[in-house]
Chain A
């Protein structure tokens, strides 16, 4: 097992790998001439949005899928002839962690050890550090299905490490996992690589994880968009990133204007201004109508990614220009047009228990009209439970809940359902129905009919660029389009309050930008938007944030206020993610102290 590690040469050498799939929409080139190498004992990240080809690449390397063409050398061996020897030294964790939920933590680890032929006498020595790192020792006898998402993910990693593999492949180990668990996982992986010189290949859709890798390979639509140390990419974007602000224009209004300017690769609004990436290393050319202040800003990896992508697109004839022409969405009926006044949502001491478990614990906050309000928290912090109570799907155990100044604590949300739009994590679309049929169904469900329904469906198809796909099964659409369709369905009836539960997880950054552009446009119409997310970049685009931990509210305020409150003598300029983790840790220690009393 461990004998192969000293082998010279790269741990992985991939040449001209191609893999295609036949789909109803034609031939999909999931991997299109992919070549790269991985040095032993390093961490390499495959970064790319959903559908980039990451999982296909991982599966081919793990030997559970055949490439159409191309050659590979894994741990110095040819998988076509020496697959068995490679498998002995390979660890692989698929996206769903590959755990048996009805087996305990210990039984899952034993299974992997047995299958890899790890002798019984060596197990204690191998398990001990893994259990210590993952903090799973107290749960060794617990069924893995009863673990939290973060713990499952750690167990999945532990299982793929029981035989001390020379090469570890992790397919999106951090997807849908909260920032705290993500950080803990990275500590485990770094320790493992440092101690036993395991070579690690990790795929991720989170751009902000890039700095954790020794090298990154950017994959987009099956092609390599770039490869190298993450610092190189960031350096490349230096001089391309600016913060634009205009005193009498909120960033949310400014952002769509900037997006239309020539030479702009990417832009996104935040509280402080509009972060803009330009194609050339010079400030954007602003028209006289937009006398915005331009401040150069140090780039981050995501800026570099968007820059590379935009350069590639314009190089290829600009067939996929980042910003689509401005479109207006009608939002009639004065339902949510009035600003100020009574808050749209008012929650007081809201509590929900399931048996002895307190899912939401005396939550108090309010959301103003036209406000984008972000709800952050680790997995299981109570966000989805709160959403379900707001949507009238779950009755509160105690406390009050007012929507549009009406008390709906008793569950009489039904009368207000026309004012609520709800988009769940899983999009709740009928996969077998076409785009058009889905929209007609949802509009009928809201009691629309006749010309009004036809016009609205037509308008939404047009607005979300879904017209070309209107007769396709929604289940076959790419994720970004499905997300747009789900949003279209949830705003069909022009609600005054929009509830979005992790609307963008796993979605392409380009699609995510467009999604937020629509959200901010809707909010400017006076619609209150309540959103949960694991992306810190999206959190900064919110007006205010609430951070939840163990069902309680641990911080409330604008993104700036939240980061201010997390200032410590050691860290004078914390990022939002650092602030978030700090608040959760504080809550964790409080909880622990409370438990001891």
Chain B
């Protein structure tokens, strides 16, 4: 037998062994298949960064047609559920009880001094505890107000006092649906989880069970062992990604504007870095429990918090912003968000993909350096 066929045979044996273990161990399948579905359902349905159906208190001191018209406009908006309160004190009490997230106070002079910029007779109070919702409520009310003004102007009842109109167009996510923004990021988190968490267990498990000891005494080589660990989990990771993409596109109707080819290539690159991290962690720690902890603290949490998936990197302090550069997931999140929402933009995709490639090369170089067919 030539050395090549021997090596191929051994690699195949390692891959088959690892695949059988994956199929028989419900926990790895659970992480690879059930977890993406669960996370997508939670983030797709449960977590939303949009404010919809926000309860808002309306205090109308002026029962003028102008005020009625404005409140009616509010009622038809998908963003608010207006509730009427007789006076401002009741409304403030409701705000304090968190029955409403904001107060719209239409003073007596509402609609009368339309021509003056100084006082429209409208006051808005927003609960600032949840700053995200507060900002949204503020923005939506502003929008509604401007819309209402514009309509009045169109009817020609007053002079156009907005000679320079601000025409806002939101690019790439015209519906401003946070789901479209979250799902691509979620795929990165899921792939980090499958890649690092699963593989961080697999080498450590062999140390713990003493199986590596008997493997080492056979002619199998380190690259063969590592390839045997890498390939099955690579397939599992790509399957997890496939599920996420399908669910994202068909269930949550997230657009996919980039090409599947670019998506697959960049995902494969990222998965390689995630698997590399998991294998390095596993080889160093030699203990499943420790490996799992390290994987969560050093790969999953940073991917979740620092990748720009939920929290905007640009609003982080400088030090943290520098830190995000050593997190492969942040490059991948950028790629995914552009692929899903904007399309194949070479200027975004390829520099970030190159960064991922460097990470992958670095991690595997480390892995080969620290893996020896020796114990102790």
Contact = CB atoms under 8 A, between A and B. Distances in A.
A114 interface: yes
Interface in B1-57: 1, 6, 9-10, 12-14, 16-17, 20-21, 24-25
A187 interface: no
Nearest to B21: A102
A64 interface: yes
B13 A115 contact: yes
B373 to A, nearest CB: 7
B375 A64 contact: yes
Interface of A: 21, 59, 62-66, 84, 87-88, 90-103, 107, 110-112, 114-117, 119, 143, 159-160, 169
A510 B127 CA distance: 76
B77 interface: no
B220 interface: yes
B20 A117 contact: no
Interface in B197-232: 209-211, 213-220
B12 A64 contact: no
B376 interface: yes
B374 A65 contact: yes
B96 to A, nearest CB: 50
B374 A95 contact: no
A96 B216 contact: no
Contact of A103 (B1, B21, B215, B373): B21
Contacts of B24: 102-103, 143
Interface string B259-273: 000000000000000
Of B17, B20, B215, B217, most A-chain CB atoms within 10 Å: B217
13 contacts: A63-B217, A64-B373, A98-B213, A98-B215, A102-B25, A103-B17, A103-B20, A107-B20, A114-B10, A115-B218, A117-B9, A117-B219, A119-B1
A93 B215 CA distance: 10
A297 to B, nearest CB: 41
B20 A102 contact: yes
Contact of B17 (A87, A96, A100): A100
Given A64-B374, A102-B21, A103-B17, A117 B214 contact: no
B1 to A, nearest CB: 6
A94 B210 contact: yes
Given A62-B216, A65-B376, A96 B20 contact: no
A90 B217 contact: yes
Contacts of B211: 98-100
B214 A160 contact: yes
B374 A98 contact: no
Contacts of A95: 210
A245 B161 CA distance: 121
A84 B13 contact: no
A21 B376 CA distance: 9
Interface in B331-368: none
Given A94-B210, A103-B17, A103-B21, A66 B374 contact: yes
B12 A115 contact: no
A112 B13 CA distance: 9
B7 to A, nearest CB: 10
B233 to A, nearest CB: 16
Nearest to B23: A102
Contact of B217 (A92, A100, A102, A107): A92
B376 A111 contact: no
A117 B6 contact: yes
What 8 A-B pairs come out closest when comparing CB atoms?
A: A98-B214, A114-B13, A96-B210, A92-B217, A94-B213, A115-B218, A62-B217, A64-B216
Given A94-B213, A102-B24, A65 B373 contact: no
Interface of B: 1, 6, 9-10, 12-14, 16-17, 20-21, 24-25, 209-211, 213-220, 373-376
Contacts of B217: 62-64, 87, 90-92, 94, 169
Contacts of A63: 216-217, 373
Contacts of A159: 214
The CB with the most chain B CB atoms within 10 A, among A96, A110, A117, is that of: A117
Nearest to A19: B376
Given A64-B373, A100-B209, 4 more contacts: A65-B375, A94-B217, A114-B16, A115-B218
Contact of B219 (A59, A88, A101, A111): A88
A90 B218 CA distance: 8
B342 to A, nearest CB: 45
A115 B20 contact: no
A94 B376 contact: no
Contacts of B12: 114
A159 B13 CA distance: 14
A129 to B, nearest CB: 21
Nearest to B12: A114
Contacts of A107: 17, 20
Contacts of A88: 219
Contact of B13 (A65, A96, A110, A119): A110
B210 A111 contact: no
Contacts of B216: 62-64
B218 A116 contact: yes
A88 B218 CA distance: 7
A141 to B, nearest CB: 13
A160 B219 CA distance: 13
Contacts of B9: 114, 117
Given A88-B219, A110-B13, A64 B1 contact: no
B355 to A, nearest CB: 37
Nearest to A55: B213
Nearest to B376: A65
Contact of A94 (B1, B14, B214): B214
Given A64-B216, A117-B219, A96 B209 contact: yes
Given A94-B213, A95-B210, A110-B13, A100 B218 contact: no
A149 to B, nearest CB: 14
Nearest to B209: A96
Contacts of B1: 117, 119
Nearest to A96: B210
A241 B216 CA distance: 45
Contacts of B13: 110-111, 114-115
Contacts of B210: 94-98
Contacts of B218: 87, 112, 115-116
B8 to A, nearest CB: 11
A84 B219 contact: yes
B13 to A, nearest CB: 3
Residue of B16, B213, B215, B216 contacting most chain A CB atoms (<10 Å)? B213
A115 B17 CA distance: 11
Nearest to A119: B1
Contacts of A87: 217-219
Contacts of B213: 59, 62, 64, 92, 94, 96, 98
A65 B219 CA distance: 15
B229 to A, nearest CB: 13
A112 B215 CA distance: 8
Nearest to B373: A64
A588 to B, nearest CB: 30
A144 to B, nearest CB: 11
B6 to A, nearest CB: 5
Contacts of B219: 84, 87-88, 115-117
Contact of B214 (A21, A93, A103, A119): A93
Contacts of B209: 96, 100-101
